[in-house]
């Protein structure tokens, strides 16, 4: 193993840097910019059972230190992903990928996860029970421990590959949700998804987003995400994937010290398409500066 390498649910990654779902398409879009095989892996665009057009526009708004989105899980549906997107991905990416899945019922989740579990390109299933930008799905499962455990248990029985459960920060106690999904069979958790937020247009005196609210991402949420990763990693025995406002090699190391085994990068990809490549290239120098020989040795190091 190299000095940047880590293992996520038994699968070795060349490095811990993973573009987050919703910020990297299905991979081939970014493969036109750089060789994406430099990545540890990536989590592809949130996929649902049926095609979704997403929310009406405007569905993106800027904030001083971040970005609000209410895209609403726009995607072509799992059949089209398997038929069209995965073959295109296979042509540009030689590593296993994380399949991010959303749904509106337990049956939706089970169906979509089972379909993707059978695809050789998929190494992990990331169950998104935390999306704040759709009505009647996603986050409604992730804000209650019993509901979260029920959907995770059903999906666990339907898939054979490692199951990562993506958690919402829009709860009073994220630790209780993490422990519930661990008990229900999750192999790892990823956190945090976006924070529910809004902007108001001073000219119209109305919300900027047609959806009224959206998910805040970017540097503004990094300290919040770091705190939650720290708390959850201390409470569960399964790996934690940390995300939320990560935009530099220093942020990656901070997340790993808080307890993250791997780190996802989201909004930074939208601001700077080469962000993940740049972070990976910067990591060895930053490690040398702080006397770190191997990244895997610092996981959870801030816990003492």
> Which residues are designated catalytic?
131
For 252, the token pair is 């990656």
Residue 189 CA: distances (Å) to CA of 85, 174, 211: 25, 11, 28
Whole-angstrom Cα distance, residue 256 to residue 245?
A: 14
Compute how many other C-beta atoms are within 10 angstroms of the C-beta atom of residue 7. 14
Whole-angstrom Cα distance, residue 239 to residue 126?
A: 13
Residue at token pair 């990823």: 190
For 72, the token pair is 């609403």
Residue at token pair 């993973």: 18
Whole-angstrom Cα distance, residue 167 to residue 241?
A: 10
């Amino acid at each position: 193993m190299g000095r940047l390498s880590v293992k996520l649910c038994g699968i070795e990654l060349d490095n811990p840097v993973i573009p987050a779902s919703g910020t990297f398409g299905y991979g081939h879009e970014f493969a036109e910019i750089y060789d994406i095989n430099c990545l540890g892996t990536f989590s592809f665009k949130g996929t649902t059972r049926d095609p979704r057009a997403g929310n009406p526009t405007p569905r993106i708004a800027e904030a001083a230190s971040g970005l609000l989105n209410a895209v609403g899980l726009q995607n072509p549906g799992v059949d089209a992903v398997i038929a069209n997107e995965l073959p295109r991905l296979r042509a540009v990416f030689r590593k296993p990928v994380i399949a991010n899945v959303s749904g509106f019922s337990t049956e939706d989740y089970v169906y979509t996860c089972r379909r993707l579990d059978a695809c050789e390109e998929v190494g992990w299933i990331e169950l998104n029970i935390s999306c704040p930008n759709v009505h009647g799905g996603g986050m409604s499962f992730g804000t209650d421990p019993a509901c979260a455990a029920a959907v995770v248990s059903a999906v666990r029985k339907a898939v054979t590959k490692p199951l990562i459960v993506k958690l919402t920060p829009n709860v009073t106690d994220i630790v209780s949700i993490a422990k519930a999904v661990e008990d229900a069979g999750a192999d790892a958790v990823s956190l945090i998804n976006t924070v529910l937020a809004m902007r108001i247009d001073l000219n119209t005196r109305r919300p900027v987003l047609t959806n009224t609210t959206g998910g805040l991402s970017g540097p503004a949420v990094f300290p919040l995400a770091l705190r939650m990763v720290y708390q959850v990693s201390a409470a569960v025995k399964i790996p934690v994937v940390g995300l939320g406002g990560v935009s530099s090699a220093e942020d990656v190391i901070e997340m790993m010290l808080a307890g993250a085994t791997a780190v996802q990068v989201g909004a930074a990809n939208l601001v700077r398409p080469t962000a993940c490549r740049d972070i990976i290239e910067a990591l060895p120098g930053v490690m040398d500066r702080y006397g770190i020989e191997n990244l895997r040795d610092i996981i959870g190091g801030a816990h003492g």
